[in-house]
């Protein structure tokens, strides 16, 4: 069958929908890529990084390794990537804990200009839960008890100034309540003390909380998402009790400052492609995550906006770096 004008136009239209990159971006990467993770192996950032790396290695035809560096609560990883050569071989899995840390600390680089933003990866709410037989019956009940006895109720956090801490302080400021944070180095120790009745409330990401709630190990009080979360729609939201408190935690990729825009765009495109794969979507959902790919600009703007938000909360609450 001969080639017609109509078939040529259809082919041209199809090609126009594909991302076009300069030759060197199409050839990238020519060397292995490493994704730096500032948290321990087995946590949500590590799991998602390895899940993506497996797919991206196939799509890009290059080895992708994950390097965990937890020194300085992730600060060393942040500094390392901000100062790395902008050659397209280094990236970092940034977490929602980055903006409040930047509001508290000066790590020697600009919190926004110190990176080339690639894309958001996924989002998930923070969760407030208690042991099954806790006298705290609901999130409104938690607030009522906290208001009646300021400072008496306790809740778990990973560190002073962590996202767990600043989010709960925001709730306290808006609801006129006061609770006491208890820092833990890991979820296991926090869970042990909550189940043992030594701490009243567990605050953690949906990634680790949903399985424990579904198994009956913990009882849900509320999630921090703006509306009912599609992966657990029966869970009340914090905003239903404290209007205006809405927050989705997230993961996203950044590269060193000055990384060529065509490389950023190619990386962005390949990540978006991976996040559409059914098995990736399913595995993220199993851990309470939903894909939230974005443009580099939207991701950069979100981080800048959250630094401002948490700076106001931190100042109002008088939080100091831990």
pTM: 0.85
Split at pLDDT 50, 70, 90, the class of 48 is very high
- pLDDT above 80: residue 321: no
Count CA within 13 A, CB hemisphere, residue 220. 24
Please give the CATH number for the structural domain made up of 32-124+249-316: 3.40.190.150
* 32-124+249-316 and 125-247: identical CATH topology: yes
pLDDT of residue 68: 94
Q: Does domain 125-247 have CATH number 3.40.190.10?
A: yes
The single-letter DSSP state of residue 245 is -
127 neighbors 220 (Cβ within 8 angstroms): yes
* Each residue's pLDDT tens digit, 188-226: 899 999 999 999 999 999 988 999 999 999 999 999 999
**CA 194 remoteness from chain centre:** 24
- pLDDT above 70: residue 4: no
Compute the average pLDDT of residues 182-186. Answer: 86
- pLDDT above 50: residue 275: yes
Q: Tell me whether residue 70 is exposed, middle or buried, using C-beta atoms within 10 angstroms of its C-beta: 0 to 12, 13 to 18, 19 or more.
A: middle
* Each residue's pLDDT tens digit, 75-95: 999 999 999 999 999 999 999
pLDDT of residue 80: 96
Q: What angle do CA 189, 190, 193 make, to 5 degrees?
A: 90
Who has greater pLDDT, 8 or 102? 102
Question: Can you give the residue ranges of every domain in the chain?
Answer: 32-124+249-316, 125-247
Who has greater pLDDT, 6 or 206? 206
Residues of the chain above pLDDT 70, percent: 92
Q: How would you label 296-321 residue by residue, b for 16+ Cβ within 10 Å and e otherwise? A: beebbebbeebbebbbebbeeeebee
């Amino acid at each position: 069958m001969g080639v017609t004008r109509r078939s040529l136009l259809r082919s041209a239209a199809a090609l126009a929908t594909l991302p076009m990159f300069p030759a060197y971006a199409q050839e990238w990467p020519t060397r292995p890529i490493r994704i730096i993770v500032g948290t321990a192996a087995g946590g949500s950032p590590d799991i998602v990084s390895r899940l993506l790396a497996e797919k991206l290695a196939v799509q890009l035809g290059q080895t992708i390794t994950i390097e965990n560096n937890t020194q300085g609560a992730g600060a060393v990883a942040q500094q390392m990537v901000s100062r790395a050569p902008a050659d397209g071989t280094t990236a970092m899995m940034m977490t929602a804990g980055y903006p409040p840390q930047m509001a508290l600390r000066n790590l020697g680089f600009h919190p926004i200009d110190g990176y080339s933003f690639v894309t958001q990866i996924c989002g998930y709410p923070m969760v407030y839960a208690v042991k099954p037989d806790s006298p705290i019956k609901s999130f409104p009940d938690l607030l009522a008890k906290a208001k009646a006895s300021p400072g008496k109720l306790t809740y778990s956090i990973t560190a002073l100034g962590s996202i767990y801490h600043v989010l709960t302080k925001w709730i306290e400021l808006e609801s006129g309540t006061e609770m006491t944070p208890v820092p833990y180095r890991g979820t296991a120790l926090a869970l042990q003390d909550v189940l043992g009745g030594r701490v009243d409330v567990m605050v953690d990401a949906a990634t680790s909380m949903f399985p424990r709630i579904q198994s009956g190990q913990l009882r849900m009080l509320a999630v921090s998402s703006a509306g009912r979360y599609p992966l657990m729609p029966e869970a009340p939201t914090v905003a239903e009790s404290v209007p205006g408190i809405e927050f989705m935690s997230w993961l996203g990729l950044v590269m060193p400052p000055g990384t060529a825009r065509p490389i950023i765009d190619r990386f962005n495109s390949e990540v978006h492609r991976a996040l559409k794969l059914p098995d990736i979507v399913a595995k993220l959902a199993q851990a309470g995550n939903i894909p939230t790919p974005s443009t580099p600009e939207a991701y950069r703007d979100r981080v800048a906006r959250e630094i401002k938000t948490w700076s106001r909360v931190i100042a109002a609450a008088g939080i100091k770096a831990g």
